[in-house]
Amino acid sequence: MKYTAAAYMLTIAIISFLGYCVENIWLAVTQQYINNRNMYFPFLLGYGLAVVGIYLIVGTPKKWLKRKSSNGPGIPGCTRMSAALMNRGRSLAATGPA
């Protein structure tokens, strides 16, 4: 699925804000203080850029499972064995336990 630049920017903004909140909650609980790093707005841009960058480079786990190991090196850990285990899980879910 293709996303627009506005969708990526909104995702970066939301994740940056959530990263700021989680980091300050963590500091408040563990260190008993809140550090806003002298920022005017509650956004840590690194968190948003990292998540969107990883998404653009690696994709989602659903995309990994669609790749076949015979098409090249593929994703580490996504081998025929893991595909067989995934298929076994699907067949168990469809028929129920033996």
Q: 70 pLDDT exceeds 90?
A: no
4-47 residue pLDDT tens: 999 999 999 999 999 999 999 999 999 998 887 888 788 999 99
Quote the tokens at residue 3: 């996303």
Q: 12-41 in b/e burial notation, b at 16+ Cβ within 10 A?
A: beebbbebbeeebeeeeeeeeeeeeeeeee
Average pLDDT over all residues of the chain: 78
Over residues 73-84, mean pLDDT:
55
pLDDT for 50 equals 95
Residue 91 has pLDDT above 90, yes or no: no
